[in-house]
Chains A and B, each alone.
Chain A
Amino acid sequence: MLALSQPIQPQTADRRLAVQAIGLHKSYGTGASAFLALDDVSIDIAENEFFTLLGPSGCGKTTLLRLIAGFNFPTNGQILLRGKDIAALPPFRRPINTVFQNYALFPHMSVAENIGFGLKMLGWTKSRSVDRVAAMLKLVRMETLADRRTSEISGGQQQRVALARALAPQPEVLLLDEPLSALDYKLRKEMQVELKRLQTETGITFIFVTHDQEEALAMSDRIAVMNRGRVLQVGRPREIYNAPVDRFVADFIGESNILSGRLVGQAAADAHQVRIAGAVATAYGKAGTSGDGTVQVLIRPEHVDVLDSPSSDCIPAVVEDEVFVGTDTRLQLRLNDGSTFTARLTNSPEQEKIRTSGTQVWLRIHSHSARLLGGDHVQHR
């Protein structure tokens, strides 16, 4: 079990920064109809990092990506690339390339011509460009399809061409705008591994935009969770999953039970005794100071044991439904304060136990796994 009480190490202190966003605002329209797409966003992204912008549609992640690419310009704020402000530069002057959601391959060019386009625009010599295109084709395993038209290859292959085209000019930063969303499940899983490999092999900073939290957890070095134009939390996948700063992040990443509790005492600097549905548990994190002592506690479905007899500090619950999903069994439970709770139990043949609806059980929360959620949206850098 990961010890969550450890202070979170700053990730960027000893590494050079590739991209810094400082106080970015972006609004569309004016007056009453104005829409604030980015609201005071500040982010540091280190060199050679696989950094993911994660959030629901309309959260501002694509807007932020387009500002970094130079397709749009911020209303306010700075964008630094290796310390230099690039916010006013047009996209063709930025050493940053993009993999577009719909790939945006040039339909009137072959695969090789597409990959060589950036090099041609940069004025590379023909022979140097040919070598580079060949190396890129090899990198994405498309050597045999160099002369095909882009309309003659599959979606997964188009994806690889788009990657090779964006990587060919050796950009300092590669931006990826939901590049896997058009692929089917199996291909998407393959491409996740492939992208991770490309990032490691090329050593280029990747900034990846997605709304798929599973994808973000699987691929990223660090994740910035965004909502309503703001960055809510930045951290490693484990931090984001285990120690979300607020209810939105907890809800958006993974499955969660968010319960109301009441503070009854303090156990340590960042550990509090909380009464939840008739039992007292230790919850970690900062307690929200406002209000009447009511706090929100996050408990992941896999962080409880389900007992058939009462035990101290266990939460009583009644089984409402049981769903077998292969590796796991999901128990749908109701607590005595009326709230629902989902528990996920790992299946194994010798331990299999059928609990019918109405069975009384007791939940034991794993140590260090109940988290206090701050109600306010604190921005963590």
Chain B
Amino acid sequence: MHEASLAQSIINIAVDEAKKAGCEKIKTVTIRVGTNAGVLKDALVFAFDALKEDTPAANALLQCIEVQPEGVCGECGEVFRFKGYIFVSPCCNSPEFRITRGRELEIVEIEAE
């Protein structure tokens, strides 16, 4: 996807939240990234480190929590885990399924002082 613009959004959100809490320096930013979100973690960290200079996040560490994908079968209701892209549920081989996890892209915690 667009790791540099995502990294910029992460920095903007983190700086805003830190300011709101009356903090000046951000130590860590923790994000949840689904493995099916289309984001390359290494590219995101690289862009974050390049863009954080001269901001309150200049010394911040970006921590990524990976979220493995999960789905629910529309036929039998079974919750299943999977890897990569799937087009049918593994239990019933049914195209009627819903992906419930794995496409997250969100900030969960900022540590600042």
Instruction: Answer yes or no: are A and B bound together in one complex.
Output: no
User: Footprint of B on A, CB under 8 Å?
Assistant: none
User: Footprint of A on B, CB under 8 Å?
Assistant: none
